Amino acid sequence: MRRTMYRTIRTGSSRRAVTVAAITSTAKRLPASLKAANDACEGGLEVARTRPDFAGNLGEISIGNDQAILIGLGDATPTRTALRTAGGRLVVALHAMGASAARIDVAPHLTGPLKNKPAVAQAIAEGMVLANWRQESWRGTASKGDPATGTLILTSPHGGSRGGLRRGCILADAANEARRLGSTPPNIAHPGWIARQARAMARRLGMQCTVISAAKAKESGMGGLTAVGQGSEHPPCLVHLTWKPKRSSGGPKLAFVGKTITYDTGGYSLKISNGMKGMKYDMCGGAAVMGAMQAIASLKLPIEVHAVLPCAENMVSERAYRPDDIIKMFNGVTVEVTNTDAEGRLVLADALAWTCRKIKPTHIIDIATLTGGVVVALGQWCAGMWSRDASLRKTLQNVGDDAGEQVWRMPLWKEHRDFMRANHADIWNSGPKRDGHPIQGAAFLSYFVEPEIPWAHIDIAGPATTESSTDLYAAGPTGFGARLLAETAATLAVDPD
């Protein structure tokens, strides 16, 4: 059972804040720059430094008194990832001591390229807010409740750090929103529920939201979304969220497309029982996109961003689609269904083609828990990324490294596209052999994106969830992709190529 955490963490001001400073394992004494801070907390930082079991190793926490905490930085130059981990441990310590506010005074005491950067405060805040998240409790009368309590206020004596703390809270809140959506059980989180969540978010943050109903989707030729969703009592839909900044500069127009399968039984190509458990997480692509939109609107990023979520539940019933069905997609491409469990690419295909035609974006990124094969290939450590655009690839790789949400390039060649050619229609949704099947998914999707639009496909089936708890993530959904996409939007807003 995970420990109780804070109900809210936010930036603000407080006079009773615990001082949080940092020190390397090589420092023999407290740096002179921390003298004033040490005096202000009655020598607590010095007490923390001299505790016999404290070596200043990376992520180590030493509590001086009820007003002072020291974080160890190790002997190497700390990275954003290390600072996030430290933040994760820090929030646990602060909660245990009953702190209601923390003054983060770390950036000036670092060495290396991060010294004095708002990114330091951002990474620590991200770590704190990510580690603080717990799955909403669905416990009933047979268990004792353990509600999260209290608020933690984050402050800093440095203006730049205060900005970093705020940004970190917003980005981690975005990931946590994706986790909330992802962890909501499939008997509640059906396509209509997702649409309601999107509408509520749009209202809350000044975005536009339109929902294309199942009937409209069918009428407009979305054969993929229609087929996948037709077996469920909950009709499919296509959610479209738009963030338009006040001052639109005619810069890039981004589109994010997220696979939102609220439950994936496999359909008639039924998953064996062990493979089905956990398929409520098959909407984590859409959840990441929603989370990113929350951050983009909260930060009021100066870039137009569209989110498109094809939502459907892949079920078995007398109305469900079958292997051997041939369907016509939004862009007129015909698909022979060889496997009803390769459903994600069918709903994404319509959403991608619709996005290209209706939105005409300058960049398009889709994100999906698309294949078990990518988990076999890359594990839970990173997402697979397919893109033929060198500039977009570089942006995603750099942003992913900084965010701790790494992407790794996979191939997409003509040979892979040719492999998807079918006997009875233009293409099939899954080849007769399982060879390279995450690549088959990407190759399939490429038939639905206009070739001149820079496009990336991100398969997050591995990192979208974690089986065991880590410093940052309780077991369950990780919100992987929310920070990656939001930071990508922030990067493209400043530097479109």
Instruction: Give the active site residues.
Output: 271, 345
Chain centroid to Cα 414, Å, comes to 30
Give the nearer residue to Zn ion in terms of CB position, either 336 or 341: 341
Q: Are strands 68-72 and 61-65 parallel, antiparallel or unpaired?
A: antiparallel
373 is in the binding site of which of Mn ion, ligand BES, Zn ion, none (Cβ under 5 to 8 A by kind)? Answer: ligand BES
From the CB of 230, what's the least distance to ligand BES, in Å? Answer: 17
Pick what 461 binds: ligand BES, Zn ion, Mn ion, none; C-beta below 5 to 8 Å, kind-dependent: ligand BES
* Chosen from Zn ion, Mn ion, ligand BES, none, partner binding at 104 (C-beta under 5 to 8 Å by type): none
Q: Which is nearer to ligand BES, 209 or 370 (CB)?
A: 370
Give the integer Cα–Cα distance in Å for 320 and 139.
34
Judge residue 246's burial from the number of C-beta atoms within 10 Å of its C-beta, 0-12 exposed, 13-18 middle, 19 or more buried: exposed
User: Which residues touch 367 (CB under 8 Å, ≥6 apart)?
Assistant: 256, 257, 258, 259, 285, 288, 289, 383, 458, 460, 481, 485
352 binds, among ligand BES, Mn ion, Zn ion, none (CB under 5 to 8 A by kind): none
Q: Which residues, 6 or more positions from 264, have their beta carbon under 8 angstroms from its beta carbon?
A: 271, 276, 279, 282, 314, 341, 343, 344
**Site for ligand BES, residues 265 to 304, rule: CB under 6 A:** 282
Nearest residue to 251 via CA among 12, 10, 490, 11: 490
127 binds Zn ion (CB under 5 A): no
| Residue list 293-352, contact with Zn ion (CB under 5 A) | 344
Looking at residues 373 to 392 of the shown chain, list those that interact with ligand BES (rule: CB under 6 A). 373, 375
Closer by beta carbon to ligand BES, 252 or else 344: 344
| CB 201 within 8 Å of CB 242 | no
Helix axes 191-205, 284-298, angle to 10 degrees: 10
Binding range to ligand BES, per CB under 6 A, among 96-104, 126-134, 371-379, 410-418: 371-379
Identity at 76, one-letter amino acid code: A
Residue with tokens 């999707």: 445
- Could you say whether residue 126 binds ligand BES (CB under 6 A)? no
Determine, following the binding rule CB under 6 A, whether residue 232 of this chain makes contact with ligand BES.
Answer: no
Choose the stretch contacting Zn ion; rule: CB under 5 A; options: 129-137, 141-149, 259-267, 345-353.
259-267
For 454-488, the DSSP string reads -EEEEE-TTTTEESS--SS--SEE--TTHHHHHHH
- Report, in Å, the least distance between residue 183 CB and ligand BES: 15
* Residues 30, 52 contacting (CB under 8 angstroms): no
Q: Candidates 126, 264, 313, 459: give the one binding Mn ion (CB under 5 A).
A: 264
- Indicate the residue among 103 and 437 with the shorter CB distance to Mn ion: 437
The smaller minimum CB distance to ligand BES, of residues 228 and 482, is found at 228
Stretch that binds Mn ion, among 261-269, 361-369, 384-392, 482-490 (CB under 5 A): 261-269
List the one residue out of 439, 389, 413, 266 whose CA is nearest residue 337.
266
- The least CB distance from residue 419 to ligand BES, in Å, is 12
Q: Is 323 in the site for ligand BES (CB under 6 A)?
A: no
Binds Zn ion by CB under 5 A, chosen from 173, 264, 313, 366: 264
Q: How far is the CB of 344 from ligand BES (least distance, A)?
A: 5
Q: Indicate whether 264 belongs to the interface with ligand BES (CB under 6 A).
A: yes
- By the rule CB under 6 A, 343 interacts with ligand BES: yes
What does the buried/exposed string (b/e) look like for 194-210 if buried means 16 or more CB atoms within 10 Å of the residue's CB?
bbebbbebbeebebebe
Is 402 a residue that touches Zn ion (CB under 5 A)?
no
- 157 near ligand BES (CB under 6 A): no
Closer Cβ to Zn ion, 105 or 264, answer by number: 264
Task: Please identify, using beta-carbon distances, which residue of 168 and 441 lies nearer to Zn ion.
Answer: 441
Q: Is 437 in the site for ligand BES (CB under 6 A)?
A: yes
Q: Which helix (H) or strand (E) holds 229?
A: helix 223-229
DSSP letters spanning 113-173: TTTT-HHHHHHHHHHHHHHH--PPP---TTS-------EEEEE-SSHHHHHHHHHHHHHHH
Distance between CA atoms of residues 211 and 130, nearest Å: 30
Q: Could you say whether residue 267 binds Zn ion (CB under 5 A)?
A: no
Of 133-141, 216-224, 338-346, 358-366: span binding ligand BES (CB under 6 A) = 338-346
Comparing CA positions, the residue from 170, 87, 196 lying closest to residue 486 is: 170
Number of other residues whose CB lies within 10 A of the CB of residue 158: 18
Cβ-contact 69, 63 below 8 angstroms: yes
Binding mask 72-91 for ligand BES (x = CB under 6 A): --------------------
DSSP string, 305-323: EEEEEEEEEE--STTS--T
Q: How far is the CB of 466 from ligand BES (least distance, A)?
A: 12
Q: Counting contacts by CB under 6 A, is residue 183 touching ligand BES?
A: no
Q: Which residues bind Mn ion (CB under 5 A)?
A: 264, 341, 343
Residues engaged in binding Zn ion (CB under 5 A) = 261, 264, 282, 344
- The residues of the shown chain that bind ligand BES, judged by CB under 6 A, are 264, 282, 339, 341-344, 369-373, 375, 430, 437, 461
